[in-house]
Amino acid sequence: MKATLFSISNRDENIYLAASNGNDALSFTELNNGKPILKSTKGDGGVRDPFILRSHEGDKFYILATDLCIGCGTTWGDAQRFGSRYLEIWESKDLITWSAQRHVEVSPDNYGNTWAPEAYYDDDLKTYVVYWASGIYDNEANPDHDPTAYQRMVYATTDDFITFSEPKVWQDEPPNGRIDSTVIKEDGIHYRFTKATINGCADIVQESSASLTAGLDDWHMIASCIGKNAGTQEVEGPSIFKTNCKDVNGARYILLADEFGGNGYVPLESTDLAGGKWTLRTGYKYPESPRHGTIIPLTLEELEGIQKAFASMA
């Protein structure tokens, strides 16, 4: 792989793409002249937290996103109590032409929200594991979903991003919530990064497990308070990836953390994934205030193809 693609949601709850400037995971230019490449026409009418992945077979790409539009008549409180139970999904063979939007219900009616989906192909289960954050209620005892429930991470499985299994609770740590998990696998070990509160610090935590779907007690805590310890403002929405071979920044892992108070994504880096020590990187060039999204590797041919296509559309 010789380049990377950055999917982001910012400004107006639409989806944008940015391409790396060569093989540089810290320098990006927005595609389509800074205009969105996808807009939601279903559900709440807005999308956040776009996650992009290449299929296990390598023949297509998927985008999963949160169905949410704050300011379209929905408050944050409403969104947690009676928010969307759907994911917004698109697929493409070339990152240029995208399918019609799929509005897919994945959460049952006692889930108050369905936030920040991500998917990972599980080699053990031979299927995709899709995980997201939800507040879970007892509809009989608490039909008004009041008070607001703490957030739990749940997961479902799918072979095609059309039909999904019933979700199962993955991370449950009352009374503190857990949101925004992201995963990378190295040498047979899954490394998971999640926004959680540990010892009073609401920040990114890093855990490890041989099994992706293991319960919370079967994950090993490697590090907590990662953003604060690295010198960031309060953060959420982590996204983890490994730089490409011969990236100008060298071989390392990049952990994006969203300074949601204003700056958006900032990169933390480490050359030792298992060690859990992260430092704040400077000298990066990201689109203006990028929010919760994903970076994936591309071939040079894919990079040149999308740059040419979106330049002609602008």
Of the pLDDT bands very low, low, confident and very high (cuts 50, 70, 90), residue 259 is very high
Tokens of 44: 């709440």
Look at residue 9 in the predicted model and tell me its pLDDT.
81
Q: Are 21 and 4 in contact (CB under 8 A)?
A: no
pLDDT score of 106 more than 90: yes
Element (DSSP H or E) covering residue 304: helix 300-313
Please state the pTM of the whole predicted model: 0.97
Look at residue 71 in the predicted model and tell me its pLDDT.
79
Domains of the chain: 3-313 (2.120.10.10)
> 67-76, 98-107, 260-269 — which one is most confidently predicted on average?
98-107
Question: Quick one: what percent of the chain has pLDDT higher than 90?
Answer: 92
Look at residue 313 in the predicted model and tell me its pLDDT.
78
Look at residue 263 in the predicted model and tell me its pLDDT.
87
Element (DSSP H or E) covering residue 8: strand 3-10
Buried b (16+ CB within 10 A) or exposed e, 240-261: bbebbeebebeebbbbbbbbbe
Look at residue 184 in the predicted model and tell me its pLDDT.
99
Q: Are 208 and 192 in contact (CB under 8 A)?
A: yes
pLDDT, average across residues 48-72: 96
Give the tens place of pLDDT for each residue, 37-56: 999 999 999 999 999 999 99
Look at residue 10 in the predicted model and tell me its pLDDT.
65
Residue (of 90, 171, 174) closest to 131 by Cα position: 171
Residue holding tokens 């006692």?
A: 110
